[in-house]
Structure 1
Amino acid sequence: MTGATIPDVRRPPRALLATLLGVSTMTIMASATITPALPGMEAHFAAEPHARLLVRLVLTLPGLAIMLAAPLLARLSGRTGRVPVLVACLLLYIVGGGSGLVLDSLPALLAGRALLGVGIAGIMTTSTALLADHHAPAEHGRVLGLQGAAMGFGGVVALLLGGVLAAVSWRGPFAVYLLAVPVLVLVLRYVPEAVPSPPGPSAAETPWTPRVLGLYALMFLGVVVFYTVPTQAPFWLAEVGDAGPAVTGALIAAVNLAMTLVGLNFRRLRARWDFPVLVTAMFAAFAAGLVVLGAAGTLGVAALGMVVVGLGIGLQNPAINGWVVASVVPTARTKALGMLTSALFLGQFASPLLAQPVVDAAGLGRTFVFAGVLAAAVAVVLGGTRLLRARRRRPSGAGLSRARRGPRTEGR
């Protein structure tokens, strides 16, 4: 890769953008793919101690591996280059993800999922950083929105395939991870290193300032509340409407379709509102969707709640990723994105651990409602803080014009 021609940062080849978007779909497939297989997996391993919890950890254990590996891989990519780390981690993704096709014990499956998690850590930190590096700051809203749309579309494909394959065997969805093989070939062909663009006027922070640390916390809280859907919804849908794996996969795919639609329109949303408003809207969507889902008595109502949650998920990655990218100098992108990735997957790992005691004590429906109340509280705090700052800084009403100025407000 050292001999590759570095493309113009402002006019990257379409093949490069398409490849990096393809890489991004691998991250959403990592968890969503096996969601429809959870009930079948639980039945298969029912005789093993603590099978109910361990099966859910098969879905979320990559989060723990990512939490530990992402900052280390981000530091490594700063020394060796982002593309070599991306290539190596795609290989880990293929081996760790595909291991579920042959392994036949929960401990072995968990080990394979941990290996998968290390691969995801490198993929997430390097792919988003490479997208930002190869595009001018004015284009970040567009490409990060496209990244969110690609992730949503990848989730739709993974869940539909996973639902169909899970109806045949709980092992079937693990074959979807092998789609990373052609993606790896494309990375080797089309993705070179790039020199990061110079910092914009608002990109003057490090990954450790209070504001950036607060963004990590928002990512963690957002994932904790919305991840009750992939970890608990298959069981809730079976209870509410006797939904099998194929129906569950289709309904969760609808969540990813909503995520895709938001990603495709994120550029327009970003042109009208700043990051604090978008993140507040994200938590509001989580709150409304989770409460509707928890109160559902039919599959139709449950599906409506899940789609509303999907709107929030569609805002999460482009809004918080974009806010972080805009808030740090380009040379600190991989470090900041590594920490953000750790926060994201720590939330995935923590979500079932926090939710399961509530499920045991109050039931699945109330668990979704409680998660929605938590999201609503975060939205209220963010919205209230935003209004107070707007009154103090822009009492004359200049806030609207500033929100529309584009790149100069990227870090706000």
Structure 2
Amino acid sequence: MSNHHNASSLASILSLSAVSGVSTIVTGITPQLHQQFSSVPTTVIEWTVTVANLSALLTLMVNPFLTTKFGVRRVVISGLLVSGIFGAMPAFITNFYFLFICRVLLGLGIGLFSPHAISMIAHVYNGDFRARLLGYQTGISALGNAVLLAIAGLVITISWHAVFAIYMLLVPIALLAFRYLPNVASGERQKNQPKDKLPRLQLGLCILAFFTYLIIWGVQLKIPVLFSAQHIGTAAVANWTLSAMNIGGLVAGLTFGRLHKRFAGFTLSIGYFGAGLSVLAMVLFQSPVIVIMAAVFFNFIYSYTGPYIVYRSNLGLSDQLINQVSSYLTIATIISAFFAPVVWNWIGRFGPGDLADNVLVWIALLLVLIAIGSTVFARRERGVKN
């Protein structure tokens, strides 16, 4: 295999990370959806953003069977094409229920390709290079989201319908996968191997991943609402802020290795505690500049938690368990997206402020509590090693 082909294969694998969060690019148009479909409840409108993550769970569960039967490349290409076609269809749809169905079908495609953003790295690469790529994976995902949200911020000035046309960008990603993606049928290779049991620590990290993404979904869903309530710019400004937040995530992903080398398990505490302070700043300060800067800093500091959870959950596991924990982590992120509107809209009823302010205050408190818990765990783990 030539160096060029190696570089192209790597590009095709990392491109899956770049579009793994593609369902979020319509997050910034929730106020427009509220206006267009005023009779639809708030939770259902927000489910329009997150329902794709839930339907992705269906194809995610049958993914091992499909990759064993057809190979990874065919499954990934099919998922990218399904997501591209049905993701873009709402650009031409005015009926809310048809739009909602298209979002469900989008998720079926996402469930076909998204788990391979992590598992392909674990299967194709080894040693230190694999460890670095697992760290970069979060940064590349953040960069992809940032670019897509920035494009959405420009396109939304045309109309909210036009934002859905961005999903057609998945088609060239499918062509790249067709040409260069390695065809690894990992399930077939492991069929006759005895099943190992996933350690409790990894199960705990999967549960932590659920709450971690539940929180970030709460922040991302309420930022456009907060901007609208505090009159912080237009819908385009909200999209560009979400884009800038992902740039912060990119920086965190690229610098994760150095931070983890210095602070080890305390990396989680830094991420959760810093995120809690930044969310609190969004609520307490009315200045648009401070709110935008706090939002960007939130995603920067919070993005240290994701790579740590992925890195620590894969550490010392067999290939079979790497597949298992990767699936569990993906499932955790998917179901968190579904529950986020329900959980936060219910919790937001309790508090002195409006819905968005109350949600962000509760999120800040939860982040501080998790930071304290992760600090206690890190101290105990360090004590055991010493």
Superposition TM-score, scaled by structure 1 size: 0.85
Write the mapping of 1:332-343 to structure 2, written as runs, cut at 5 A.
332-343=321-332
For 2:293 and 2:138, locate their aligned partners in 1 and report how far apart those are by CA, in whole Å. Answer: 21
- Partner secondary structure for residue 233 of structure 2: coil
1:296-348: CA deviations, max 9, x gaps?
Answer: 31211211221222124422432222222325311333332122111011111
For 1:286 and 1:218, locate their aligned partners in 2 and report how far apart those are by CA, in whole Å. Answer: 15
Q: Look up the match of 2:84.
A: 94
For 1:329 and 1:78, locate their aligned partners in 2 and report how far apart those are by CA, in whole Å. Answer: 19
For 1:213 and 1:178, locate their aligned partners in 2 and report how far apart those are by CA, in whole Å. Answer: 36
2:205 partner letter: L
Q: Look up the match of 2:170.
A: 180
For 1:12 and 1:329, locate their aligned partners in 2 and report how far apart those are by CA, in whole Å. Answer: 27
Q: Look up the match of 2:121.
A: 131
The runs of at least 4 aligned residues of structure 1 exceeding 6 Å deviation read none
Write the mapping of 1:6-405 to structure 2, written as runs, cut at 5 A.
13-31=6-24, 33-46=25-38, 48-50=39-41, 52-194=42-184, 206=196, 208-274=198-264, 276-362=265-351, 363=354, 364-394=356-386
Change (3 A) 1:356 1:298: same
1:99-133: CA deviations, max 9, x gaps?
Answer: 21122222222211112112222222112111222
For 2:23 and 2:298, locate their aligned partners in 1 and report how far apart those are by CA, in whole Å. Answer: 19
Alpha-carbon distance, 1:94 to partner: 1.0
1:255 partner letter: M
Change (3 A) 1:49 1:85: same
Work out the number of aligned pairs and report it.
376
For 1:208 and 1:321, locate their aligned partners in 2 and report how far apart those are by CA, in whole Å. Answer: 14
Alpha-carbon distance, 1:244 to partner: 1.0
Contact 1:292–1:305 under 8 Å retained in 2 = yes
Q: Look up the match of 1:403.
A: none
Alpha-carbon distance, 1:137 to partner: 2.7
Contact 1:101–1:171 under 8 Å retained in 2 = yes
For 1:146 and 1:392, locate their aligned partners in 2 and report how far apart those are by CA, in whole Å. Answer: 29
Percent identity reads 19
Alpha-carbon distance, 1:82 to partner: 2.3
1:385 partner letter: F
2:286 partner letter: G
1:27-54: CA deviations, max 9, x gaps?
Answer: 22321x11221111111111x342x222
Change (3 A) 1:90 1:206: farther
For 2:262 and 2:206, locate their aligned partners in 1 and report how far apart those are by CA, in whole Å. Answer: 24
For 1:389 and 1:339, locate their aligned partners in 2 and report how far apart those are by CA, in whole Å. Answer: 23
Contact 1:164–1:245 under 8 Å retained in 2 = no
1:179 partner letter: L
2:324 partner letter: K
Which structure 2 segments of 5+ residues have no match?
187-193
CA RMSD of aligned residues (A): 2.4
Contact 2:53–2:337 under 8 Å retained in 1 = yes
- Partner secondary structure for residue 27 of structure 1: coil
For 2:302 and 2:185, locate their aligned partners in 1 and report how far apart those are by CA, in whole Å. Answer: 31
Alpha-carbon distance, 1:380 to partner: 0.8
For 2:163 and 2:302, locate their aligned partners in 1 and report how far apart those are by CA, in whole Å. Answer: 22
Alpha-carbon distance, 1:238 to partner: 1.6
1:50-104: CA deviations, max 9, x gaps?
Answer: 2x22211111111221334323214532454322221121122112211211222
1:112 partner letter: C
Q: Which moved more, 1:381-390 or 1:316-325?
A: 316-325
Superposition TM-score, scaled by structure 2 size: 0.90
Change (3 A) 1:195 1:378: same
